[in-house]
Amino acid sequence: MARKQQVNETPAIWYQASACSGCAVSLLNGAAPSVKALLIDQVVPGQHVSLRFQPTVMAGAGEAALQVLDAAQEAQEGYLLVVEGAIPTASDWYGFVGHKPDGSPYGMAERVIGLARSALAVVAVGTCAAYGGMHGAHPNPTGCKGVGEVLREAGVDTPVVNVPGCPPHPDWFTGTVVDILLHGLPGAEAVDAAGRPLRFYGSLIHDLCERRSDFEAHKFARAPGEPGCLYELGCKGPFTHADCPERQFNQGTSWCVKAGGPCQGCTEPTFPDVQCPLYRKIPYDAQPRIVRDPGSGELVAVTKPSQEAGE
């Protein structure tokens, strides 16, 4: 009689803050592996992800769903916390999920901080969760910030892995989760200054792009949809880190440049403020480079080596 394999269960909570749900929808479109493979089929042998809370797909709603979230937070059993969306910090009224016993709103910032304290690790999925993104764009009246910044300000040292993109490719998220299940949290050598796994964000779009030869030959498109390099139309590929040209979206069907539009740089911490207007060319010497300030730990966009933090 075959011995039954022991399965290690990793609880997971997917918390949605100030978001459009696009990141969740992108993940649901994943194919290899699919969400079903990750959650049910044990794509990682002997490992099972138990998704306890995810508002977009769970059957419960309202108080019934919030009771699941409260129970997970109170149990403090150690779980993988996935956060989708930026965190409003200007006021609880700009974003809250449920109410406290006294009837006051349970602000998103307070909820994320509380959940993170009990988490094994935090995965910030999407650019909004990672760096503020669209919701944190100027003038940002709601004070939206990325998860890592909010946790640092609150003195929470739970590790954070950023999986940016607007939306991120489903492989970037599932691959990161599988890596965590198999090998544990990525070390400093496996992520860049912006906290992104080098496995997916280690190359520039520009270096992988199928139109790179057009750039070298100075063959530039004059309008979206035309053949030729899209740099003159505002392509942000020269300073955007991701493997979109190789991986492509919709099960390897296409991606922004292949569809005729310039890369918008959505995986970068500077998106969208620096990248806008999206169809404006940013000269090479004005393209931002991201470093982490050694004193504050904050991400800093610099355009010249002499401006790097710590120099």
- Is 229 annotated in the active site? yes
Cα of 84 vs its chain's centroid, Å: 8
How many other C-beta atoms are found inside a 10 Å radius of the C-beta of residue 165? 27
CA 201 to CA 39: how far, in whole Å?
Answer: 25
- Is 276 annotated in the active site? no
> Which entry of 135, 169, 241, 263 is annotated as an active-site residue?
263
> Which entry of 135, 169, 241, 256 is annotated as an active-site residue?
256
Strands (E) in 118-177, as ranges, are: 121-125, 160-163
CA 4 to CA 91: how far, in whole Å?
Answer: 51
* First vs last C-alpha separation in the chain: 66
- Is 144 annotated in the active site? no
> Which entry of 135, 169, 241, 244 is annotated as an active-site residue?
244
- Is 23 annotated in the active site? yes
Position 304, amino acid: K
Q: Which residues contact 2 (CB under 8 A, 6 or more apart)?
A: none
Pairing of strands 289-292, 121-125: unpaired
> Which entry of 128, 135, 169, 241 is annotated as an active-site residue?
128
> How far is CA 310 from each of CA 188, 239, 269, 270, 300, rounded to the nearest angstrom?
19, 21, 19, 20, 11
> Which entry of 135, 144, 235, 241 is annotated as an active-site residue?
235
> Which entry of 20, 138, 169, 276 is annotated as an active-site residue?
20
- Is 20 annotated in the active site? yes
> Which entry of 135, 144, 169, 229 is annotated as an active-site residue?
229
3-class SS of residue 133: helix
Element (H, E) at 113: helix 108-117
> Which entry of 135, 144, 166, 241 is annotated as an active-site residue?
166
Tell me whether residue 295 is exposed, middle or buried, using C-beta atoms within 10 angstroms of its C-beta: 0 to 12, 13 to 18, 19 or more.
exposed
> Which entry of 23, 135, 144, 241 is annotated as an active-site residue?
23
* CB distance 208 to 235 below 8 Å: no
- Is 206 annotated in the active site? yes
Q: What tokens appear for 139 in the block?
A: 């003038």
CA 201 to CA 139: how far, in whole Å?
Answer: 28
> Which entry of 135, 144, 209, 241 is annotated as an active-site residue?
209
Active-site residue list:
20, 23, 128, 166, 206, 209, 229, 235, 244, 256, 263, 266
